[in-house]
Homo-oligomer: A and B are copies of this chain.
Amino acid sequence: MPRLTSESAFLECIDRHFANSHPHMERGRGDDCAVLLCPERMTMSSDLFLEGVHFRRSYFSPADVGYKALAVNLSDIAAMGGVPLGFSLGLMVPPSPEFADAAAEEDPGQPAPAGCGAPVVPAGTEAYWDAFFGGMAELAGEHGVALTGGDLSRSPMMGVSIAIWGGPSDSEAGPVPFLGRQGAGVGDVIFIVGDFGLARIGLLALETMGRDAETLYPRAVRAHLRPVPRVQEGQALARFALTHGATGSRISLMDLSDGLARDLPRLLGSEAGSGLYADLAIPEATLADEIAGYCLANDLNPLEQATLGGEDYALVGTCPAALADALQALLPHARRLGTVVKGNGHLLNGMPWEACGFDHFA
């Protein structure tokens, strides 16, 4: 199978998948820097996605890696209610200057499972990187985001570093202000847009069963390999906040990357002394079926798994109670998880989180 043996071959592969023109790019890839046409305000973030830390090549197809590395970054723009514009890509290519891959011998490829992404082929081959860039470009295309440049380096392991930025969405009243984590108040409703817990079940199943996990837990596996960045919903929430003026300015939002149990205290500033806590009502029966199924089969506590699990990339936020019905009308698949309370600790179904066995919450 042909291998990518030079930087220029890599760049050609990138050019096949990513257009080098975009309304946001006055000058694209090929110079020391890109030149971008920018709105007055931009929102900017970056995330690492590293082999052995964030993904394994044994069950991530190359297209899955390319997809998810960009998805987790898009999710940060979603959490601000922004419109993604461009991203810069740092690509760590194992393991030698020739981009020919000793690991390819160790990892001889597996038959492609149905479902998520392209066949698992050895890293280092042109087919591997073609699938990788294909998975990334498909998602970039969905969101209209430009690849403006970046850097290639050999590396002991595969890794992807993406910096991403976006502008505000437009409204009749002008650019829509970005949302943020600030704003929660006592009595506000805590809501979530997207699944939570499934990605963790997918991870656990993939770690023990490999891609065979897809047969038993297809949604959970997909949630882990192909999380959906909630970009449209983030923008809808930012416009909603603008429409509701001063009341709307109390809408807070973040993306759920480390699990409800770790992220909600950040949103509420609980550990920073805000005095705000979450009072959650999450009946076990409302959890996704595959969470219950996996936990039953593996003697795990479904609520614990669902709230501890990271990498959901759902949007979690708070809004004043008076706006909750309107928000629900705007986003019918949003779900109320509970209420913001003044207190000394977080509650889940009426019990202190710790009492539910969630030591990690501290």
CB <8 Å contact, B48 and A44: no
CB <8 Å contact, A46 and B76: no
Known A46-B90, A156-B52: A35·B163 in contact at CB below 8 Å:
no
- How many residues of A are in contact with the other chain, CB < 8 A? 55
When each residue 74-89 of chain A gets 1 if its CB lies under 8 Å from chain B and 0 otherwise, what string results? 0011011010001011
Residue of B with least CB distance to A152:
B48
When each residue 41-85 of chain A gets 1 if its CB lies under 8 Å from chain B and 0 otherwise, what string results? 111111110101110000000000000000000001101101000
CB <8 Å contact, A37 and B40: yes
When each residue 145-183 of chain A gets 1 if its CB lies under 8 Å from chain B and 0 otherwise, what string results? 000111101111101010101100000000000101110
**Bound CA–CA A285/B153 (angstroms):** 35
In terms of DSSP, what is the predominant structure of the interface of chain A? strand
In the complex, whether A9 has a CB less than 8 A from a CB of chain B is no
Contact among B37, B40, B76, B89 for A41, CB-based, below 8 A: B37
In the complex, whether A38 has a CB less than 8 A from a CB of chain B is yes
Contact among B33, B35, B45 for A88, CB-based, below 8 A: B45
CB <8 Å contact, A46 and B153: no
**Bound CA–CA A148/B45 (angstroms):** 8
Residue of B with least CB distance to A72:
B151
In the complex, whether A22 has a CB less than 8 A from a CB of chain B is no
**Bound CA–CA A29/B327 (angstroms):** 28
Residues of B within 8 A of A43 (CB): 33-36
Residue of B with least CB distance to A155:
B50
Q: Which residues of A contact B (CB under 8 A)?
A: 26-27, 30-48, 50, 52-54, 76-77, 79-80, 82, 86, 88-90, 92, 148-151, 153-157, 159, 161, 163, 165-166, 178, 180-182, 254-255
